[in-house]
Amino acid sequence: MNTYCVTGAAGFIGYHVCKKLLDRGEAVLAIDNLNNYYDPELKFERLDQLGINKEAIQYNKVISSSTHPYLQFIRVDIEDYDNIFTIFKDHDFSCVIHLAAQAGVRYSIDHPFSYTQSNITGFLSILEACRHNHIPHLVYASSSSVYGLNTQQPFSIHHGVDHPISLYAATKRANELMAHTYSHLYGLPTTGLRFFTVYGPWGRPDMAYFKFATAILEGKPIDVYNFGNMYRDFTFIDDIVEGILRVTEKPPQSVKQHQIDISDPALSPAPFALYNLGNSKPESLADFISILEQKLGKSAHKRFLPMQAGDVFATAADIKELEQNFGWHPHTTLQDGLEQFCNWFVEYYNRLHP
């Protein structure tokens, strides 16, 4: 049995990663600070699905699951280095899956310090804890937003990423550079995953599709930016989780510098790797909304608006490295993925509005 540390475990992706690991019989130490960036009740509900009792949660106290014998949860801030270090020292982790972060492109415009605190200081805390406790592999969440003003499609890990257009994107790119430094200096194997527009059940309320579904059911207008003329590489949560877990099984290896072209942004002699994790099939925002209306059985009242600051026109993932190295390929269509989301969402919404 392997023991995994999953940070951001009460978040959207973190919850699904924990569930999948437990389903296959692994041991998990789950970490989250349960902040109020969005309604913490949804985070508590996710934890409840894993057998973690909300009433038992205290800061820096280990809680055991009532339903999963190999799951423990601890509420702690990742930037709280002393406690993070102690947690890592007291456990023998096979892999750290670091998903905790201050998310959201638009939120970063008005709340910049939240991003440097969590995404920079917090990530440094994780790197230091991994370094000093000889963690075999750190897998961490990056983002497709690092591609910024890059107009070459599909986005490839071999493209330059020097022109971010939001502080969120800049912090995620900084994470990749920090990880490379630790891989180079200390031989820490690190793998960064650039996620592309993840959606599905138990998703984040700040994401557009979640907001759309809420507004549609309430008969309120939805804001459609760039007049609906935008494309996103929508990627279903189950495909994302499968990609994450495949990557954990194969830490990157050091190579001799003369064996690679270090002018390629994706390559390094250090035990360092980057991958795109996306559906590789961009869909228009207009089509996405149309399918959402169909699955919810209700039409949306659309309010068309120009492009927002920090947004990009299109995202598309080149995933050939992940296919070649891990045999991974997404298989969930937008129709099927949105049907699963809507089935969950209607039940969740009715619990909130009985």
Q: How far apart are CA 83 and CA 72, in angstroms?
A: 16
Residue 56: DSSP 8-state: G
Answer whether residue 35 shows pLDDT above 90. Answer: yes
pLDDT score at 226? 85
Q: Which residues of 151-177 are buried (b: 16+ CB within 10 A; e: fewer)?
A: eebbbbbebebeebbbbbbbbbbbbbe
Give the pLDDT confidence score for residue 307 in this predicted structure: 80
pLDDT for the residue 84: 98
From its phi and psi, is residue 341 left (phi > 0), alpha (psi between -120 and 50) or beta? alpha
If pLDDT is split at 50, 70 and 90, which confidence band does 310 have?
low
The β-bridge relationship of strands 272-277 and 198-199 is unpaired
Bridge partners for 240 per DSSP? none
CB atoms within 10 A of CB 248: 22
Contact (CB, 8 A) for 154 and 164: no
Task: Dump strand ranges (E) for the chain.
Answer: 3-7, 27-32, 62-64, 71-75, 95-98, 138-143, 190-195, 198-199, 221-225, 231-232, 235-236, 272-277, 283-284, 301-305
User: Is the pTM higher than 0.85?
Assistant: yes
- Distance of alpha carbon 208 from its chain centroid, rounded? 15
**DSSP-assigned beta bridge partners for residue 303:** 223
In CATH terms, the superfamily for domain 3-197+235-279+313-330 is NAD(P)-binding Rossmann-like Domain (3.40.50.720)
3-state helix, strand, coil in the chain (%, to 5): 40, 20, 40
pLDDT, one tens digit per residue, over 230-270 is 899 999 999 999 999 999 999 999 999 888 888 899 999 99
C-alpha closest to that of 100 among 46, 44, 140, 137: 140
- List active site positions: 168
Answer for the pair 177, 187: CB distance below 8 angstroms, yes or no. no
> Domain ranges in the chain?
3-197+235-279+313-330
Overall average pLDDT of the 65-86 stretch? 97
Locus of tokens 């659309």 = 302
Element (H, E) at 174: helix 167-186
Structure tokens at 56: 């038992």
Sequence-distant (6+) residues with CB within 8 A of 43 are 10, 11, 32, 34
Instruction: Convert the pLDDT of each residue in 150-201 to its tens digit.
Output: 888 899 999 999 999 899 999 999 999 999 999 999 999 999 999 999 999 9
Q: How far apart are CA 16 and CA 233, in angstroms?
A: 20
